[in-house]
Amino acid sequence: SNPSILILPGDGIGPEVMDEVRKVIAWYGEKRDMAFDVSEDLVGGAAYDKHGTPLHDDTMARAMEVDAVLLGAVGGPKYDVLDFSVKPERGLLRLRKEMDLFSNLRPAQCFDALADFSSLKKEVVAGLDIMIVRELTSGIYFGEPRGIFKEGNERVGINTQRYTESEIARVARSAFELARLRSNRLCSMEKANVMESGILWRDVVTEIHAAEYPDVELSHMYADNGAMQLVRAPKQFDVIVTDNLFGDILSDAAAMLTGSLGMLPSASLGAPMENGRPKAMYEPVHGSAPDIAGQGKANPIACILSFAMALRYSFEAGEEAARLEAAIATVLANGARTADLLGPEGGTPISTGEMGDAIIA
């Protein structure tokens, strides 16, 4: 049977950018003889409007079965007044949690045509292609005890950074595997100088390296130095693996090395399923962009690059992923720009649909 994909377009520009991904999926079926079984459902505000919940149980069950979930974006001002328990984001969080997507991959890749767009000097970012792997299901965002407590006559806010050996090991393995698919270099970041969890993190990564991945070139760096190095000389890195909190911050910083939010894809991977493929969800980093929704202005590239990641990490089709990325590079080199990619000198933007069509062509 064909590999299966569940499309969850979501809200705002989510459905608009997902329309372009659907075109790309159709192209693979027609021209490359790669057919997918595609189903589609609601998530976020769209699901709330229909079912009173941001993720219906049937949708959750389907997500657990398919080879890959492709998600657009969720949220919008209309839903800001809702109770936290039914907010659109809760749909996303439930997917991540129940699919146990512990390994969050955020590439920072700079297309030559957009090197001027970076917050940094062109020579620092031209040709940049790095990958940050962030642990996504544990660490300080989840550790107990947590809360705001009374201590004497004042309040104290408490979060707990907590990592088990197995939680570190599984994300480390995922990063080592990725490094092997790329330039075979992994840099692990923590703060072993001041944190117990950082000492354990460094120990576990070192042990797994010695036992299972001695062929990968491993280095360790304190995360604060890592932040500095990412801005100073980002091309020194290939794959970076780090915990949930540091990964949140470092991946946002790395994202801005490359320019527009409309260009950034992500993948979240879990444990292998029976067929050997990891549980997986692919989504652009951006949100539902209510300010431009419904106007055909959204840049579909982040969402299309997320599908390229699905080709590479879920469908063993790395060459096809590279083909798709090359098409995007060509289109950009030829000068095609959605509105978000126009610099101060301006120019005429093309629409979401025109960008999708240009990539297909």
Determine if residue 295 is labeled as part of a ligand binding site: yes
- Our finding on whether 261 is near ligand NAI (CB under 6 A) is yes
Nearer to ligand NAI, 125 or 305 (CB): 305
> Among ligand NAI, Mg ion, none, what binds residue 248 when CB lies within 5 to 8 Å by partner kind?
Mg ion
Do the Cβ atoms of 272 and 177 come closer than 8 Å? no
Interface segment toward ligand NAI; rule CB under 6 A; list 34-42, 155-163, 195-203, 281-289:
281-289
Instruction: Name which of 304, 253, 293, 263 is nearest 75 in CA terms.
Output: 293
> Among Mg ion, ligand NAI, none, what binds residue 30 when CB lies within 5 to 8 Å by partner kind?
none
Determine if residue 192 is labeled as part of a ligand binding site: no
Do the Cβ atoms of 262 and 114 come closer than 8 Å? no
Which of 191, 238, 313, 340 is catalytic? The answer is 191
The three-state secondary structure class of 200 is: helix
Determine if residue 117 is labeled as part of a ligand binding site: no
Q: Verify whether residue 37 is a known catalytic residue.
A: no
Interface segment toward ligand NAI; rule CB under 6 A; list 104-112, 142-150, 184-192, 286-294:
286-294
* Whole-angstrom distance, CA of residue 146 vs CA of residue 79: 27
The three-state secondary structure class of 38 is: strand
| CB 247, min distance to Mg ion, A | 9
Which of 23, 100, 129, 141 is catalytic? The answer is 141
- Our finding on whether 73 is near ligand NAI (CB under 6 A) is yes
- Our finding on whether 299 is near ligand NAI (CB under 6 A) is yes
- Our finding on whether 82 is near ligand NAI (CB under 6 A) is no
Do the Cβ atoms of 216 and 184 come closer than 8 Å? yes
- Our finding on whether 74 is near ligand NAI (CB under 6 A) is yes
Range list of H helices, the chain: 14-31, 45-51, 57-65, 88-98, 122-125, 165-181, 196-212, 223-232, 244-255, 301-313, 318-333, 352-360
Q: Verify whether residue 48 is a known catalytic residue.
A: no
Do the Cβ atoms of 131 and 178 come closer than 8 Å? yes
Interface segment toward ligand NAI; rule CB under 6 A; list 58-66, 152-160, 217-225, 294-302:
294-302
Residue 257, both tokens: 């090395």
Determine if residue 252 is labeled as part of a ligand binding site: yes
CA atoms within 13 A of residue 241's CA, in its CB half-sphere? 29
- Our finding on whether 292 is near ligand NAI (CB under 6 A) is yes
| CB 245, min distance to Mg ion, A | 10
Determine if residue 288 is labeled as part of a ligand binding site: yes
> Among ligand NAI, Mg ion, none, what binds residue 289 when CB lies within 5 to 8 Å by partner kind?
ligand NAI
Q: Which residues contact 83 (CB under 8 A, 6 or more apart)?
A: none
Nearer to Mg ion, 167 or 248 (CB): 248
Q: Rounded to whole angstroms, what are the CA distances from 155 to 142, 152, 159?
A: 20, 8, 13
Q: Verify whether residue 141 is a known catalytic residue.
A: yes
Residues interacting with Mg ion, by CB under 5 A? 248, 252
Q: Verify whether residue 58 is a known catalytic residue.
A: no
Q: Verify whether residue 116 is a known catalytic residue.
A: no
The three-state secondary structure class of 104 is: strand
* Whole-angstrom distance, CA of residue 304 vs CA of residue 65: 22
Q: Would you tell me how many other CB atoms lie within 10 Å of the CB of residue 76?
A: 21
Determine if residue 172 is labeled as part of a ligand binding site: no
Do the Cβ atoms of 17 and 81 come closer than 8 Å? no
The residue within the footprint of ligand NAI, chosen from 56, 134, 202, 286 (CB under 6 A), is 286
Specify binding-site residues for substrate.
96, 106, 134, 224
Give the annotated binding-site residues: 76-89, 96, 106, 134, 224, 248, 252, 287-299
Point out the residues that are catalytic.
141, 191, 224, 248, 252
Question: Where on the chain is the footprint of ligand NAI (CB under 6 A)?
Answer: 13, 17, 73-76, 92, 261-262, 283, 286-292, 298-299, 302, 340
